[in-house]
Chains A and B, each alone.
Chain A
Amino acid sequence: MVDISTAHEVAQPASFEFDAESNAAIETILKRYPPGRQASAVIPLLYVVQRQMKRQTDSAWVPLKGMDAVAARLGMAPIRVYEVASFYFMFNTKPIGRFHLQVCGTTPCWLRGSDEVFHACKDAAHVAGYGQTSEDGMFTLSEVECLGGCVNAPILQVDDDYYEDMDYERTVQLIEALRRGERPAPGSTIGRQTSAPEGGPQTLLDVPGE
C-alpha cells in the first residue's frame, strides 16, 4: 500500500519561527512579486525553511510547523502549502542526514553510468538504498530526475552543489572527503571547463586569421 503521508510518522518540532537570516531573505523574495500576488513566493519560502532547518539542526527538511509559518506569512490556507511542499521532491518532508546525496537517474545520466554512482554512494556512505539515511546520520541518498546538467553526465548533487562527470572512484573519493569535513569544489571532476568538450575544443579549430 502506498502511503507517503510521512507527516504523521516523523517527530515534528513543536514550533517553528523564522530567524533573522530567514526574515531578511523573505523580505528580498517578497519584493519580487507584485502586491496581492505574494502566494507566488511559496516555493522560495519553503526553501528558506529548509535552509533554516539545516542551519539549526544540520538536517535540511521542512517540518509541518514550517509549512504553517509559510502559510501564515503569505496569507494562504495551510493545505495549499502542504500541497506544494509534498508535490516537489526537492522539499524533504522528513529529516535527512547532514549531506543529501542526490543521484540523477534519468536517461542521459543512466547511459553514462549513474548506476555506478549509485553503487559508489551505497558503498562509501553506507546507505542501504534510495530514500535511506546512513546509520551515522551523515548521508541521505535520493534518486532525482534530470538535473539539467546532462552534458556533463552523470551528475551527483550534494545538497545544493553539482558534482559532474562522476564515476565510481571519484564518487567514493568525494564522499570520503565530505566525511573528513572537506568540501571539494563543485563542477566537473575531470577538469573540463564548464560544459566544453572533453579534452579541449573540438570545433572551430580552423578559424581563418587565428
Chain B
Amino acid sequence: MAKVTVDGIEVEVPNGVSVLQACEAAGKEIPRFCYHERLSVAGNCRMCLVEVEKAPKPIASCAYPVADGMKVFTDSEMVRRARRGVMEFLLINHPLDCPICDQGGECDLQDQAMAYGLDKSRYLEEKRAVKDKYMGPLVKTIMTRCIQCTRCVRFATEVAGVPELGATNRGENMEIGTYVEKALTTELSGNLIDICPVGALTSRPYAFVSRPWELRKTDSIDVLDATGTNIRIDTRAGEVLRILPRTNDDVNEEWMADRGRFSFDGLKRRRLDRPWIKVDGRLRPASWSEALGAVAARLKGLPGERIGAVAGGLADAEAIVALKDLMGALGSRNLECRSDGAAIDASRRDFYTFNTGIAGIEEADALLIIGANPRLEAPVMNARIRKRVVAGGFPVGFIGPRGLDLTYAQDWLGEGGRTLRILAEGGHRFNEVLRAAKRPMLILGRGALTRPDGAAILAAAWKIAAENNMLQADWHGFNLLHQFGGQVAALDLGFVPPADGAAVSPATEALWLLGAEVDPAAIPAGAFVIYQGHHGEAVAARADVILPGAAYTEKDATWVNTEGRVQHGRLAVYPPGEAREDWKIIRAASELLGKRLPYDSLDAVRARLAEANPVFAGRGFAAHGCTDMTGPTGDVGALTEAGFAPAATNYWQAEPISRASDTMAECARVYGAAQVQLAAE
C-alpha cells in the first residue's frame, strides 16, 4: 500500500495504481478523455494533468504510478492552467457544431470545456476536417469531431476482440478508422458509441432524434439474449428512443450487445395491438370481452388433459406463473417451455443454469465449450471469456463447427457427438487439461440439446463436469447457456409436462401459446389455438384468438438470466393500442373461466412467484458449489456421432422483436454472408 496525499487528503491505495485512481479514492474528480477503467492506458489526451510535489512539470495522472508519500495537487494554479491549455489545443481542430451534434448534452468534451476550458477561442487559423468513415449500419461517424483518444481502437482490439480499428497516418493527418472500408465485424459495436467521449461515433438509428434532457430514463433488463444485461430505456412521449447499458460488474460490466441495443424499432412494427378472433376461418378484430369470451366459451368444460400451454423464450415470470396456475385450475399439466425441443432436465436448478456465474468466468482456469457459440448467443459474456483468455493461463476447448471466430484462440476438439463421447469417457487429450485445472468449467449450448439425442448430450456434459474436477463443494463448473431472457424463469416455475405428458399431442383440443413459436403443422387440425404475445409470426395466423400482450419494455416483470439471476425489469412505455400486461390478461381470462386467480396486484403475483419457487423471493445470484453429483436423466450411451450443426437463423434476427426491426434487417443484410450462423436457435 502507498500513502498518498491528494489536496491535503490522505489516502492509502495499493502500490502500482495510477495517480488518477488515487485522486478518485480521495474523492477528487480528474477530467479525462482517453482513460477508461476497462481499457488499457494510452495517456495521449493529457487532460488528466495534475501537479505532484517536486515534479517540475504537470504529470498525466492516468499513466503515472503512485509512490509512497506522494503529494498531489489537483486544483493548483499550475493544474488549472495546464487543463486550460490542453483544452485549448483539443478544441483547435474540434468543430464548434454542438448545436447539430447528437452528443450534445452528454459530451465529455462539452462538459469539460465548460468546467475547465477557456471562455473564448483565440484560434483564428483554419481548422482541419476529416472525411467520415463507414463503420457499419449502427455506428454513425463524424470524424472531424474525433479527438483521437483511441478509446474506440482499444475497445475494438481489447474488449471486442476485433482488431479492425486503428489510427492511420500521422500528425495533423492522423485519422481513426479501418483504413480499408468495412463494417466492423462485432456484435458489440454499439459500445463504441458509449465510450467515444465526443460526438465522433454516435448512434445511427438515434441520429437527430432527441436530446438527453428530453428523455425519461427507466432502468430495466435486456431479454433478447440470456445474459440479463442491465439496461436503461430512454423514452419520450411513450416511445422508446434508445436503449443503453447500465453498469453491473457481475453481469455485463458496462457493455451491451447490438441486438439488445438496436432492436427496439421492432417494438413499433408488426405489433399485435388489439384482440382478434377467427370467424369462418378468417381473423377479424375484436374487443377484449369478445376475445376472452371466446376463450372461455371454448375452454369451459374441456377436460384438462386436452388443454396444453406453451411459453416462449421472451415470456416473463409473472405471466408464466399465472398461466401455470390457470392451467392447474383447468386440470391441465400439459405445460411446455422448451418449444425449441431442448432436452433440458428441469428437476434440479443446477442442471439448467450457468452455475459458475458470469463473473465466475474470471476465476476459472480452463473452459470446455460444447455446441455453443457464445459470441453470437451471448456477446457480452463472450467478451468476459475473452477477457479471461487475454489474462492468460486459460485453455479453451471447443466442440462444434470448425473454424468459428470466437475472438479468442480456441482449441478445436471436434465437430460433435463423437468427440463428446471420448471426453465423457475420459480418453481425450483435453481431459488432461481439465483434470490439471483447479477451477475448470464447461459451457453447454442450449442449441446442442435440441437434437434427438439431446438428453444424452446433457448427460454426457454433466458426466464430463463430474469426472473432470468441475463439481466441487465451492465451485460449480457446469453451465448451460440459454438464448433468451425468459427461458430460465419458465424452468424455475416448472413449466414442463409430467414425464408421460406433452403440451401438444394429437389429443390436444385447446392450446394456449404465451409468445411461443410452435410449428403450426404440429398442432392438430381441429385444435383451438390462443396466441398471446406482442408479435404475431407464423403461428399467430393459425390462432383462433389473439390476445395482444406487452413486450419487455412495456411491463414490470421478473426475468431470470442464464445464471439464474433474478432481476426486475420496469415498464418504460405503455403497451400499444389495447395490448395489456400478460399476467393481467391471464388473470382476466381466469375470471371468465370461473377459476379466478387469487392475485390482482403485481405484489400479489410476486408473492405467488416466491411461493412457487423461493428463488423469486430474492434477487440476484448466489455463488454456489455442487455437492450432489447425480446427473440429469439421459443415457450417455445414446449419443450419436453427429456434429453440432449451426442452425439457419442469424444473430441479428433471432427472436420476434429483432425480426420486426428494420435496423436489424439492415444488419442482417450487411453482415449476412460474413456472419457465422447462430448455432441452433
Contacts and interface: CB of A to CB of B under 8 A. Distances in A.
Interface of A: 1-5, 7-8, 64, 77-80, 82-83, 86-87
A82 B131 contact: no
Given A8-B180, A78-B180, 15 more contacts: A1-B129, A3-B131, A5-B168, A7-B180, A8-B181, A77-B157, A79-B163, A79-B164, A79-B166, A80-B163, A82-B180, A83-B166, A86-B168, A86-B170, A87-B168
A7 B129 contact: no
Given A2-B172, A87-B170, A7 B130 contact: no
Given A2-B173, A80-B166, A86 B131 contact: no
Contact of A1 (B130, B168, B178): B130
A124 B175 CA distance: 36
Contacts of A3: 130-131
Contact of A79 (B129, B172, B178): B178
B166 to A, nearest CB: 4
Contact of A5 (B129, B131, B163, B164): B131
Contacts of B170: 86-87
Contact of A2 (B130, B157, B178, B181): B130
B525 to A, nearest CB: 57
Which has the most chain A C-beta neighbours within 10 Å: B128, B165, B166?
B166
Interface in B171-199: 172-173, 175, 177-181
Contacts of A77: 157, 163-164
B48 to A, nearest CB: 24
A60 to B, nearest CB: 19
Contact of B180 (A2, A64, A83, A87): A64
A87 B175 CA distance: 10
Contact of A86 (B128, B130, B169, B178): B169
B170 to A, nearest CB: 5
Interface residues of B, number: 21
19 contacts: A1-B130, A1-B131, A2-B129, A2-B172, A3-B130, A4-B175, A5-B177, A7-B179, A7-B180, A77-B164, A79-B164, A79-B165, A80-B163, A82-B166, A82-B168, A83-B166, A83-B168, A86-B168, A86-B169
A92 B167 CA distance: 17
A58 to B, nearest CB: 25
A141 B670 CA distance: 41
A82 B170 CA distance: 12
Contact of B167 (A2, A64, A78, A83): A83
A2 B128 contact: yes
A115 B145 CA distance: 37
Nearest to B165: A79
A7 B131 CA distance: 14
Contacts of B175: 4-5
Contacts of B129: 1-2
Contacts of A5: 131, 168-169, 175, 177, 179
B173 A4 contact: yes
Contacts of B167: 83
Interface string B122-152: 0000001111000000000000000000000
A64 B182 CA distance: 14
A188 B157 CA distance: 48
A179 B563 CA distance: 74
Contacts of B130: 1-3
A87 to B, nearest CB: 5
Contacts of B165: 79
Nearest to B172: A2
A-B complex: 5 closest residue pairs judged by Cβ atoms: A77-B163, A79-B166, A82-B179, A86-B168, A1-B129
Contacts of B179: 5, 7, 79, 82-83, 86
Most chain B C-beta atoms within 10 Å of own C-beta, residue among A78, A79, A80, A86: A79
Nearest to A79: B166
A78 B185 CA distance: 14
Nearest to B175: A5
B582 to A, nearest CB: 47
Contacts of A82: 166, 168, 179-180
A79 B185 CA distance: 13
Contacts of A87: 168-170
